[in-house]
Amino acid sequence: MELTQALTPVSQPAFSPQAEPSETVISSNFETFLKMLTVQMENQDPLNPTDSSEYAQQLATFSGVEQAVLTNDLLSALMVQMNTTGMAQMADWVGKEARAIVPGHFDGSPITIAPNPAAIADKVELVVSDPQGNEVQRYDIPNSADPIEWAGTQSDGTPLPSGLYHFQVVSSANGVPVLAETAATYARVQEVRSENGQSVLVLNGGVSVLASDVSALREG
* pLDDT given at position 7: 39
Mean per-residue pLDDT, 16-36: 56
Considering the domain architecture, whether residues 78 and 155 belong to the same structural domain is answered as no
pLDDT (tens digit per residue) in 88-115 = 677 788 999 999 999 999 999 999 999 9
Considering the domain architecture, whether residues 28 and 115 belong to the same structural domain is answered as no
pTM of the model: 0.60
Considering the domain architecture, whether residues 72 and 97 belong to the same structural domain is answered as no
CA 25, 30, 31, 37 torsion-angle sign: positive
Q: Which residue has the higher pLDDT, 128 or 1?
A: 128
Mean per-residue pLDDT, 209-218: 91
d(CA 178, CA 117): 10
Considering 13-27, 73-87, 203-217, the range whose residues carry the highest mean pLDDT is 203-217
d(CA 28, CA 36): 13
Residue 3 within a domain: no
Considering the domain architecture, whether residues 79 and 165 belong to the same structural domain is answered as no
Say whether pLDDT at 54 is over 90: no
Do residues 150 and 111 lie in contact, with contact meaning Cβ atoms separated by under 8 Å? yes
* pLDDT given at position 124: 97
> Inter-axis angle of helices 52-89 and 20-42, to 10 degrees?
170
Considering the domain architecture, whether residues 79 and 143 belong to the same structural domain is answered as no
Domain count, the chain: 2
Domain boundary among 74, 89, 104: 89
Domain residues for the domain of 24 are 17-89
* Residue % of the chain over a pLDDT of 70: 62
Q: How far is CA 103 from the centre of its chain?
A: 19
Considering the domain architecture, whether residues 79 and 105 belong to the same structural domain is answered as no
d(CA 152, CA 38): 78
- The CATH number linked to 194 is 2.60.40.4070
Considering the domain architecture, whether residues 83 and 115 belong to the same structural domain is answered as no
Domain boundary among 89, 104, 137: 89
Phi and psi (nearest 5°) for 63? -65, -40
Domain boundary among 89, 107, 134: 89
Considering the domain architecture, whether residues 112 and 200 belong to the same structural domain is answered as yes
